[in-house]
Structure 1
Amino acid sequence: MFKKLQLSIVVLVCFSTFVYAQERDLSKGTKKFNQYAFVDSQKIFLRVAEAGYESADLFGKLADSYYYNADYDDAAKWYAKLVEKYPQEVTPNQYFRYAQTLRATEDYDASDAMIKKYEELAQAEGDGYDNAVSINEIKSGNAFGTFEIERLSANSVGYSDFAPAYFGEKLLFSSTRDTGTLTTRIHSWNNQPFLDLYIGDITDQGQVNGVSKFKGSVNTEFHESTASLSPDGNTLYFTRNNFTNEVYRADKKNTNKLKLYKATRTGDGPFGDVQELPFNSDSFSTAHPAVSADGKTLYFSSDREGTYGESDLWKVEITENGYGTVENLGADINTPGRDTFPFVDADGKLYFSTDGRGGLGGLDVYVYDSEKNSITNLGEPVNSPKDDFTFIYDTESSTGYFASNRSNDPLDDDIYTFTRAACESTLIVQVIDKNTREPLNGAQVGIRNIDNELIIAGVAEAPDAKFNYENPDCGADYFARAEMEGYATAEKNVTIPEKSSEVVLVIELEPSIIDIPPDFDLAKLINPIYFDFDKSYIRPDAAVELAKIIEIMKEYPQLRIDVRSHTDSRGNDAYNMALSERRNKSTIDYIVEKGGISRDRLTGRGYGESQLLNECSNGVSCTEEQHQLNRRSEFLVQDY
């Protein structure tokens, strides 16, 4: 017994030592994870997992460490273990990230299942989000145009090149490429050298030549990336680690956050006088600037207080004296995921990347049109199952650039150039008879813009009554109006797609005078109306039936109706005759006054108690329901 107890103590001590060692390693890995040292944290978490230690926290952090380095295959493997072994401990955000990794690996059915899990948990916690995105719609047709893409030859093999930005006739971008220095600092996030800004000349074909390191005092020993030049060319906004005036700062967890800086220059000189923007903080990241075309607004990404997801898009006014109040772009744009890398084109459209809207997988590029209040996925080939981001676009040349890791190791981003094909569309308006479906050749057609200004007008020509409007503005809204003698004018609105299309709009005209069919029977459509005892006012139930009559008389302008009103047998005959006349008058007045029907289309009189519908005559005992049947106005077609 003593030996068994001794053996149990030894086993318990060994097991406790094992658990303590794994928990100590897990604590180290968590510390690295919280400092965004994902490569280091992966090594530690993997060592713990391979030793047989399991927990929801371990699997979740291991999956996240791969997810944030865009290694979606390995991320999916660890999210799967988390969901399978610890389903009760999976958070909504972990289901969400798992769904995104599955999209990146093109397992869309499984992704949809995880999205449903996410939505159920998120709604239960009061933080629901509608993530319904049709993958087929994104893949089958690009609603924003047709793109031809080409990888830049200036990309450096084995290193990351991304964040293209226009710099006059040059392209500014961020890269981890080897600079040839004796000491290359490696970042623990992704095990690559630190980022610096580089610049090159844009060729006529959109390629970039003569790449060199960006001059001036912008680049440092830490990260610099995602820059945006002001319209006057004298201020450069860019992202850098929290490193100001040669001082490196971190938050309470010893994590160095990202901040926005600006550098200025005079004339064609180098950029210097680097200053930190005043709305940064040591406790959250502020990054990826984008200046509006008018230079009045700065857009950026941040995980500051008030963020809906992991990072949100924000904006701030650029004033003569500094900056206005920082504003979140709102839940219509931001998601529970990563919303980042904004860019605003000359037309005011906001492009950004997010993994919070489903899409094809990873980060996808979307465009927000404030005039239409619409958000559109750019579709293939700009987007892919991997990360696609830092999209910029020149509206004048219909060309631009973006970055993606689709072709390489997840940490090896490349820049692509693209040309957006010209949109040449035709709007075809066809005018037909609503009833016969026959073409109405000769109908007048007018096309108006959203401000109701006439753009073009013409005739719907034989044989199909069609009018063609060539080259309408792609993405624009129009109203097409059709008119023809003998028909009521009608119009429809239409939105021209962003890609070359032939849009057919059918306008149905309804005859203004409709022939009444021979078998027309008003009695089948309209019930009599009833009155309270000794009353002549129109009851609510009677008003419903009279509304039907009004609509029928409007539809058939030549229809004439005779109104016949009655009473029950109670009361003397003379009184009842007068009461029926009052009921007849109130019935006709209602149709004329409420419906706008001409009085000369209505005739009628009161019949007192002379036309009872049952045996309830003078002296006969009847129920109230039986008497009610006789207190009525009836409607007969008089002429048509």
Structure 2
Amino acid sequence: MRIKIHHLFIALFLSVLTSGFGQERKVAKGNKQFNQYAFVDSQKIYLRVAEEGYESADLFAKLGDSFYYNADYSEAVNWYSKLIEKYQSEVTPNQYFRYAQALRAEQEYDKSEEMIARYQELSDGSEDLYAEQSISEIKEGSASYEIEKLKANAAKYSDFAPAFYGEQLLFSSTRDTGVFTRRVHKWNNQPFLDLYVGDIDDQNQVNTVSKLGGSVNTEFHESTAVLSPDGNALYFTRNNFTKDQYRADSNKTNRLKLYKAAKTAEGLGAIEELPFNDNSFSTAHPAITPDGKTLYFASDRPGSLGESDLWKVAINEDGSFGTVENLGDKINTPGRETFPFISKDGKLYFSTDGRAGLGGLDVYVYDFESETLENVGAPVNSTKDDFTFIINSDTGKGFFASNRANDPLDDDIYSFIKAACESTLIVKVVDKETKEPLNGALVGIRNLDNDLIASGSAEAPEATYTFQDPECGEEYFARAEMEGYMTDEKLVEIPSESSEVTVILELEPAVTAIPPSFDLGKLINPIYFDFDKSNIRPDAAVELAKIIEILKEYPELHIDVRSHTDSRGNDAYNLALSERRNQSTIDYIVEEGGIARERLSGRGYGETQLLNECSNGVDCTKEQHQLNRRSEFIVQDY
């Protein structure tokens, strides 16, 4: 059976190298339980409590939230950092998320990325930064690409490794030989690759193909080339054949090496071998960053994590090179990573068989800015080998190679055009309780840096605001506010393909006065007592400090303090115990808070008003009993 030409390079990497290449953000309602009721300026209350020296995870979190929603990100960072520093075990995923956004607003990008990482670690069901995609996601991944096989492919020959060469396409082909061997290890019987160029037309097809001039092509293999951004040098892969000498390793295997050809007005001239090559391993498939300062390549050199890895090396101003660096396990796997390409927008495209994919080599893209790795998806990827992917990120046009055609020699080049993505984000604003549209509500669209990029009113009859042409694949915050309602906000992810996205923001009606008989205990965490105890615990002191500040904020307010016990113990004893707890609670508010005693009334109710079924003789857990050991703070007429 005949050997597929891109598998020649797999054989060379095994003897040599490898071959051809929202979750929705949950936003706290106002300031959680306390801030659900707009009759209290929560921020003012919390700050007073904090100034009195009280500390708790709940207090710091609500302060962070209150400043965050008021766009005071500096103060939000201050309180979120205190929360994480002192109560790390109690920090929720969403608090990490908001902290990260506040840090971005303060341009603390490194710290923000650290918090995003913690958010993803703690979020139930949250996708890890480098988690593998499902098959269905991969199949749908690049549905916006329209691919077409190049007419310039030579029948019965292998064509692959496309590269931009000015206005032309540079690629590798065996079209001059047509000689393919049954045995990979018999070097003299293997087909020889040369570099060719062709003109690219408006339909992204290639015409008028000719062999690359100059001294690059030899009697051995030349492949996978890249032109430097300044156009002065061509880096390419060749067999270990330097200065007319054919070299091999200790096992007599001829490895791959990288070479550089100087480009002059007369064409490609002097060729030099790059200094980090070696006879004992392969170095191949060059790619250069748009600024021309870094060279990426594939190699099975010592230190590789798998059969071949992606590496990089700095290109110094004098033309020398820095220290070779492995890209690490964010990119490399125990399998084969190969055929890198760096797009104009700085993304790394490469092929690998070390990750879940559709089959064979799949093309992946790594975004250095967001540190995310994704399978490019179908139709670029297939069940066969797909590799040497290149793209002009300005035009959305590019090329790749694949052996999907099942020809005897089936490496072919395909062109693609990425269809324009045109999306719409529709924001609907409704009353949370009645679900009626809130026409006239103010809607703002913010990016992940919390910059306001669009705003307007929710228009009748359905209270909708339309944000035209959001960036596909990006995330936005949609926020709505209206007088008499609490603010709501959601994180919205715009798909990579054209789509219409609708998000519904539900605004909760704000309470503008404290109603009689309202229990202020709903605004705080429960005031619990230890079993058979009536003293104020430290956690209860934090919550009582909030009650004290409410009483200071509303000097006309009178409250009735009601204390309760669980059912364990004698009924008469429990009644007396609840009286002692009631007295301790009132005394604390008066003595520690400076509140006039005549503004407070109350008594103990013992076990007469249980919150659950845990009455005398009922078998309940400690946690169930503790729910009944509580205090209530009922507003009286004022």
Q: Take 2:276 and 2:374, find their aligned partners in 1: how far apart are those partners?
A: 30
**Distance of aligned partners of 1:550 and 1:412 in 2 relative to their CA distance in 1, 3 Å threshold:** farther
Q: Matches of residues 8-407 of structure 1 in structure 2 within 5 Å?
A: 132-139=132-139, 141-142=140-141, 144=142, 146-178=144-176, 188-189=183-184, 192-267=190-265, 269-321=266-318, 322-407=320-405
State the one-letter code of the partner of 1:299.
Y
State the one-letter code of the partner of 1:460.
A
State the one-letter code of the partner of 2:249.
D
The 3-state SS of whatever aligns with 1:488 is coil
State the one-letter code of the partner of 2:600.
G
State the one-letter code of the partner of 1:388.
D
Q: Take 2:337 and 2:598, find their aligned partners in 1: how far apart are those partners?
A: 66
Aligned-residue offset at 1:587:
4.8
Q: 2:445 matched to which residue of 1?
A: 447
Q: 1:538 matched to which residue of 2?
A: 537
The 3-state SS of whatever aligns with 1:136 is helix
Contact 2:427 2:502 in 1 (8 A): yes
Contact 1:538 1:586 in 2 (8 A): no
**Distance of aligned partners of 1:492 and 1:530 in 2 relative to their CA distance in 1, 3 Å threshold:** closer
Structure 1, residues 130-178: CA drift from partner, whole Å, max 9, x if none?
Answer: 9744112222x22x55011111111111111000001111110001112
**Distance of aligned partners of 1:564 and 1:416 in 2 relative to their CA distance in 1, 3 Å threshold:** closer
Contact 2:561 2:582 in 1 (8 A): no
Q: Take 1:606 and 1:531, find their aligned partners in 2: how far apart are those partners?
A: 20
State the one-letter code of the partner of 1:204.
D
The 3-state SS of whatever aligns with 1:585 is helix
Q: 2:511 matched to which residue of 1?
A: 513
Q: Take 2:598 and 2:284, find their aligned partners in 1: how far apart are those partners?
A: 75
The 3-state SS of whatever aligns with 2:267 is coil
The 3-state SS of whatever aligns with 2:586 is helix
Aligned-residue offset at 1:612:
7.8
Contact 2:287 2:340 in 1 (8 A): yes
Deviates more, 1:130-139 or 1:207-216: 130-139
Q: Matches of residues 549-628 of structure 1 in structure 2 within 5 Å?
A: 561-563=559-561, 583-587=585-589, 603-604=599-600
Aligned-residue offset at 1:464:
1.8
Deviates more, 1:580-589 or 1:419-428: 580-589
State the one-letter code of the partner of 1:291.
I
Q: 1:437 matched to which residue of 2?
A: 435
Aligned-residue offset at 1:494:
2.4
Percent identity among equivalent residues? 59
The TM-score, its normalising length taken from structure 1, stands at 0.66
The 3-state SS of whatever aligns with 1:323 is coil
State the one-letter code of the partner of 1:294.
D
Aligned-residue offset at 1:192:
4.7
Higher relative contact order (CA 8 A, sep 6+): 2
Q: 1:18 matched to which residue of 2?
A: none
Aligned-residue offset at 1:385:
0.6
The 3-state SS of whatever aligns with 2:136 is helix
**Distance of aligned partners of 1:198 and 1:509 in 2 relative to their CA distance in 1, 3 Å threshold:** same
The 3-state SS of whatever aligns with 1:487 is coil
The TM-score, its normalising length taken from structure 2, stands at 0.67
Aligned-residue offset at 1:605:
5.2
Unaligned runs of 5+ in 2: 1-6, 21-128, 609-625
Structure 1, residues 114-144: CA drift from partner, whole Å, max 9, x if none?
Answer: xxxxxxxxxxxxxxx99744112222x22x5
Contact 1:145 1:423 in 2 (8 A): no
Aligned-residue offset at 1:68:
7.4
Q: Indicate which of 478, 482, 485 corresponds to 2:483.
A: 485
Aligned-residue offset at 1:218:
0.9
Q: What is the number of residues matched between the two proteins?
A: 489
The CA RMSD over aligned residues, in Å, is 4.5
Q: Take 1:245 and 1:423, find their aligned partners in 2: how far apart are those partners?
A: 50
**Distance of aligned partners of 1:546 and 1:579 in 2 relative to their CA distance in 1, 3 Å threshold:** closer
Aligned-residue offset at 1:293:
1.2
Structure 1, residues 501-531: CA drift from partner, whole Å, max 9, x if none?
Answer: 1122222222232899999788999977447
Aligned-residue offset at 1:491:
2.3
Contact 1:566 1:606 in 2 (8 A): no
Q: Pick the structure with greater CA Rg.
A: 1
Aligned-residue offset at 1:561:
3.7
Q: Take 1:566 and 1:499, find their aligned partners in 2: how far apart are those partners?
A: 59
The 3-state SS of whatever aligns with 2:275 is coil
Structure 1, residues 259-283: CA drift from partner, whole Å, max 9, x if none?
Answer: 111111223x221211111111212
